[in-house]
Amino acid sequence: MRKFLVAFGSVALLTVSLAKAEQTLYEKLGGKQAIDAVVEDLTNRMMKDKRLKRFCSNMSEDQLKARRALVAAFICKATGGPCEYKGRDMKQAHQNLGITEKDWNRFVELTKQSLNKFNVPADVQKEFLNAVAGLKDQIVSKK
């Protein structure tokens, strides 16, 4: 009986470990509500930031709300969530904004601050930021 319990416990631990390993980034981030909260916080940080506020300061509250929803839907979909993203691809969406390397770096810093505010674990932050880094060439303007 003891061997059975040890074996059963080992299988249970392995099952839990595999379930964790199979989680999508969307799930690791905490799902839609968590993504919405981080996007709202990040947008607010950008609006107060000297370098990045130019990208959102001319928007009405309705435009900001729509932009937040679009960004959150993109993140949700890109991280394995059930959301549908109906926006333009990243290159089209950012091509006329003149986003520089410094702008990008500041955006990454603010993103880290927002993720930290919501206690996103370091390994999940790293996974998310690595995924975001893959979009850099589509977002930063080439001069």
2 belongs to a structural domain: no
Quick one: which of 28, 51, 47, 20 has its CA closest to 118? 28
CA distances from 139 to 9, 37, 45, 133 (A): 48, 23, 19, 10
Interval 76-130: pLDDT, tens? 999 999 999 999 888 888 988 889 999 999 999 999 999 999 999 999 999 999 9
Q: What is the span of the domain harbouring residue 106?
A: 25-139
Domains of the chain: total = 1
Does 103 reside within a domain? Answer: yes
> For residue 48, what is the domain's CATH number?
1.10.490.10
Distance CA 92, CA 87 (A): 10
pLDDT at position 112:
97
pLDDT at 92: 87
In a domain, 30, yes or no: yes
